[in-house]
């Protein structure tokens, strides 16, 4: 089965919420976990890079925002990763000095990571053909996602990208409130975070976000409240 989006064919099994550990056999999974360090973080806490060396992370629970600076690039590549996602995985194939990564826990509840050194991680994968195949597929998915993001940046407005980002985050992380009508995003995200995700300035992102508030699809409060049915219907009208 294949899923086709904007002309790209992507195997359905490459869904981003599929963890590398999930496709391993029981004994392989135990070996991976046994050789990892488990790290836990409070909401908003930054993962310190000092002393971490060339480590690879896999999100166990919660959500993290990753900013990747390549070479002399001043503008980061930003993504929000959830359970099962790999972080700092580019360290498997590129020198650490070529990139700088910033990582922050953003879920309001539990945030935890498994950590391996890049060398140890690759050694474990060499003994797991399924794991190596999954890693290659994961990088294929990342390449596809990068092309898709580039396409959307060229073909669609920043407003369109913000609306669809909120829909995607709501579907991945959100949960219904007591009356079942509003999705609450349990994420500590700033306007700057959201703006960087869609590659606009903070001021532009703030204006776009306030426009959605005025339309009644984003509610007031400490955390983002989304009227998902309204937002999804509205997203379908945008180009």
Indicate the number of domains in the chain: 2
Q: Please tell me whether residues 16 and 43 are part of one structural domain.
A: yes
Residues 63, 130, single domain; the answer is: yes
Give the domain extent around 12. Answer: 2-152
Predicted pLDDT at 93: 67
17 φ/ψ sector (left φ>0, alpha ψ -120 to 50, else beta): alpha
Tell me, yes or no, whether 163 and 144 share the same domain: no
Q: What is the pLDDT of residue 163?
A: 87
Distance CA 178, CA 151 (A): 38
CATH number of the CATH domain containing 167: 1.10.10.10
Cβ(47)–Cβ(103) below 8 Å: yes
CA pair distance 189, 172, nearest whole angstrom:
15
Q: The domain spanning residue 40 has which CATH number? A: 2.60.120.10
In a shared domain, residues 94 and 41 = yes
| Count of all residues that appear for the chain in the document | 239
- pLDDT at 179 (0 to 100): 66
Same domain, 115 and 182: no
> Looking at the structure, do residues 99 and 24 belong to the same domain, yes or no?
yes
E-assigned strands of the chain? 2-5, 8-11, 37-41, 55-61, 63-70, 77-82, 86-87, 99-105, 111-117, 175-176, 183-184, 218-219, 225-226
Do the beta carbons of residue 153 and residue 205 sit within 8 Å?
A: no
Residue 162 and residue 143 share a domain = no
pLDDT at 79: 87
Say how many C-beta atoms besides its own lie within 10 A of residue 207's C-beta: 15
pLDDT (tens place) for every residue of the chain, 239 residues total = 333 333 333 333 334 456 777 767 777 788 888 888 999 999 999 987 654 457 889 899 999 999 887 766 677 788 899 988 888 877 776 655 667 788 999 999 899 999 988 888 888 877 777 666 766 776 666 666 666 665 565 556 888 888 888 988 988 898 887 666 688 889 999 999 999 988 889 999 999 999 888 888 888 777 788 887 788 777 777 76
Looking at the structure, do residues 127 and 20 belong to the same domain, yes or no?
A: yes
If you ran DSSP here, which 8-state letter would residue 20 be given?
G
Q: Are 120 and 190 members of one domain?
A: no
**Residue 89 and residue 40 share a domain:** yes
Task: Specify whether 181 is located in the same domain as 143.
Answer: no
Q: Which of 123, 152, 181 is the last residue of a domain?
A: 152
């Amino acid at each position: 089965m294949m899923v086709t989006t904007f002309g790209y064919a992507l195997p359905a099994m490459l869904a981003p919420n599929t963890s590398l550990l999930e496709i391993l056999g029981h004994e392989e999974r135990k070996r991976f976990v046994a050789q990892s360090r488990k790290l836990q973080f409070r909401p908003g806490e930054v993962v310190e890079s000092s002393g971490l060396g060339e480590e690879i992370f896999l999100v166990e629970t919660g959500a993290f925002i990753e900013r990747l600076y390549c070479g002399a690039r001043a503008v980061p590549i930003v993504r929000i990763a959830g359970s099962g996602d790999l972080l700092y995985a580019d360290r498997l194939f590129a020198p650490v000095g070529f990139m700088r990564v910033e990582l922050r826990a953003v879920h309001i509840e539990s945030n935890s990571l498994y950590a391996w050194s890049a060398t140890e991680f690759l050694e474990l994968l060499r003994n797991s053909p399924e794991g190596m195949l999954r890693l290659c597929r994961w990088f294929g998915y990342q390449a596809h996602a990068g092309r898709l993001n580039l396409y959307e940046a060229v073909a669609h407005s920043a407003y369109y990208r913000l609306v669809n980002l909120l829909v995607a985050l709501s579907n991945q992380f959100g949960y219904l409130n007591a009356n079942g009508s509003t999705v609450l995003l349990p994420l500590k995200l700033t306007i700057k975070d959201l703006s960087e995700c869609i590659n606009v300035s903070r001021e532009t992102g703030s204006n776009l976000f306030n426009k959605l508030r005025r339309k009644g699809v984003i509610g007031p409060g400490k955390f983002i409240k989304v009227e998902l049915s309204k937002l999804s219907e509205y997203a379908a009208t945008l180009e």
